[in-house]
């Protein structure tokens, strides 16, 4: 590793890194990174306070998470060989899961590739470079991804807000191949048209696939309400599994157009309807109209994106669950989810329980929900576990 510049860490950083965490905060380096002439994304060698090598990393002296550990080699660091090994390892696991053609192929730190996310939709890959260190390797990453059997196109969905903190532009770029939207995939017995260029995130929320599958045995003959529906993952799948009807609620007209397109493609267009409204307002309108549903799904965007949002976000989770519970029939089900990393499963369950107690209804949790297996959790990095939820039965007095 003699070709890499060595940076010494303070003693407190070593223990976390040796337990598998890959982040190094700016105040854990000896000295000021900004005074060392380092470039954003530059590869370095991290050494402990005692002078032992921890391995290769990349750094960005301009952000709080100033370093990310990549590899602990014994005799040098070949970045291209490292990329190839990590990508092939991630793909092999997805093949075992049976999602190598449609699913998350690479999930950042959990796959040993911090800052890189890649989703696959058949012949197309939609990827995000979230850090300067990964952005430096964009061409090499594209070359490796091009080698995956059946891949014909790659879109860089580099439009996440976090890129600005890394000093990177927000942009959507086709790296290679041609992209014609929508790209169709099948999930849980339904068909969905994905928009990898114009859709949210990388185009689809594969992280809820396993949870949607867990709900399907309960939906036959049910009236289903899908709040924050996006493209109708919950609602359209429910209709495809025999639900009497599914109402998908979203404040995005484009998302609701996708719901109708997906429902038609899945052969359930006559049983899926849409409502263009804010979810809170929609719950109030439906309650005032005397509507009740056998299954209500609450799958909102993150209400807590930063720790300082915790108080307001906790209240929002309680309010939306209380509004949703008012619409559930006696003996019906609620699916309540959160994708806020800073909001634990216990906190979500507490919010759901408090909402139920405020209404005088009783809950029985039937299943805990988590992110799908193609979004693996790194045991040394709690930050990689973000999605949690509960499937619960609702009983009224």
Q: What is the mean pLDDT of each run of 10 residues along the chain (397 residues)?
A: 82 89 95 89 93 93 95 79 96 97 97 97 96 97 97 95 92 95 94 89 90 98 97 97 98 95 98 97 97 98 89 95 98 97 95 97 98 96 96 95
Q: The CATH number of the domain where 129 resides is what?
A: 3.30.750.80
Q: The CATH number of the domain where 33 resides is what?
A: 2.30.130.10
Prior bond of 57 cis (ω within 30°): no
Same domain, 342 and 214: yes
pTM for this prediction: 0.93
Of 31, 46, 71, which residue sits at a domain end?
A: 71
CA distance 170 to 365: 41
Of 51, 71, 91, which residue sits at a domain end?
A: 71
Cβ neighbours of residue 357 under 8 Å, at least 6 residues apart? none
Which residues lie across from 369 on neighbouring strands? 389
Same domain, 231 and 377: yes
State the burial class of residue 371 (Cβ atoms within 10 Å of its Cβ: 0-12, 13-18, 19+).
buried
Cα distance between the two ends of the chain = 68
CA distance 276 to 250: 5
Same domain, 334 and 391: yes
- Please tell me the predicted confidence (pLDDT) of residue 74: 57
Same domain, 40 and 167: no
Same domain, 99 and 123: yes
* Count of domains observed in the chain: 3
Question: Sheet holding 153-158: strands in order across?
Answer: 102-107, 116-121, 124-129, 153-158, 171-176
- Please tell me the predicted confidence (pLDDT) of residue 1: 45
State the burial class of residue 121 (Cβ atoms within 10 Å of its Cβ: 0-12, 13-18, 19+).
buried
The verdict on whether 339 is a catalytic residue reads: yes
Same domain, 162 and 280: no
Same domain, 21 and 39: yes
CA distance 264 to 135: 39
Cβ neighbours of residue 319 under 8 Å, at least 6 residues apart? 280, 355
Domain span including residue 61? 5-71
Q: The CATH number of the domain where 325 resides is what?
A: 3.40.50.150
Same domain, 105 and 222: no
Same domain, 236 and 95: no
Nearest alpha carbon to residue 337 among 172, 174, 227, 179? 227
Same domain, 292 and 374: yes
Same domain, 206 and 344: yes
Q: Is the Cα dihedral 41, 43, 48, 50 positive or negative?
A: negative
Same domain, 301 and 227: yes
Of 160, 176, 192, which residue sits at a domain end?
A: 176
Catalytic residue among 248, 283, 339, 357: 339
CA-to-CA separations, 236 to 264, 336, 384, in angstroms, rounded? 9, 18, 28
């Amino acid at each position: 590793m003699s070709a890499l510049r060595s940076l010494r860490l303070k003693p407190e950083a070593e223990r976390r890194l040796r337990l598998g965490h890959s982040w190094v905060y700016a105040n854990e380096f000896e000295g000021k990174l900004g005074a060392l002439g380092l470039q954003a994304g530059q590869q370095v060698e991290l050494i402990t306070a005692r002078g032992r090598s921890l391995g290769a990393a990349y750094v960005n002296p301009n952000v709080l998470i100033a370093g990310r550990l990549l590899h602990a080699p014994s005799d040098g660091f070949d970045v291209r060989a490292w990329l190839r090994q990590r990508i092939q390892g991630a793909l092999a696991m997805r093949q075992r899961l049976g999602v190598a053609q449609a699913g998350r192929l690479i999930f950042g730190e959990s796959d040993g590739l911090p800052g890189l996310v890649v989703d696959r939709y058949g012949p197309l890959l939609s990827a995000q470079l979230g850090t300067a260190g990964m952005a430096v390797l964009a061409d090499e990453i594209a070359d490796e991804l091009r080698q995956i059997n059946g891949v014909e196109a790659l879109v860089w969905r580099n439009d996440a807000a976090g890129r600005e903190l890394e000093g990177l532009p927000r942009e959507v770029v086709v790296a290679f191949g041609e992209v014609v939207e929508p790209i169709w995939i099948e999930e849980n017995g339904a068909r969905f048209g994905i928009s990898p260029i114009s859709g949210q995130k990388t185009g689809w929320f594969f992280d809820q696939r396993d949870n949607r599958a867990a709900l399907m045995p309960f939906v036959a003959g049910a009236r289903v309400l899908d709040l924050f529906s996006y493209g109708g993952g919950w609602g359209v799948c429910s209709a495809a599994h025999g639900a009497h009807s599914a109402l998908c609620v979203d404040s995005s007209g484009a998302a609701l157009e996708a719901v109708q397109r997906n429902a038609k493609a899945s052969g359930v267009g006559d049983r899926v309807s849409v409502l263009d409204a804010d979810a809170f307002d929609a719950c109030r309108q439906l309650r005032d109209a005397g509507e009740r549903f056998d299954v209500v799904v609450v799958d909102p965007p993150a209400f807590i994106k930063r720790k300082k949002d915790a108080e307001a976000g906790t209240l929002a989770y309680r309010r939306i669950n209380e509004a949703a519970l008012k619409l559930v029939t006696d003996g019906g089900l609620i699916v309540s989810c959160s994708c806020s990393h800073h909001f634990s499963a216990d906190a979500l369950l507490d919010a759901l329980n408090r909402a139920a107690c405020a209404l005088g209804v009783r809950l029985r949790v039937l299943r805990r929900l988590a992110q799908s297996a193609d979004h693996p959790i790194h045991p040394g990095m709690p930050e990689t576990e973000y999605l949690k939820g509960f499937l619960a039965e609702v009983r009224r007095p």
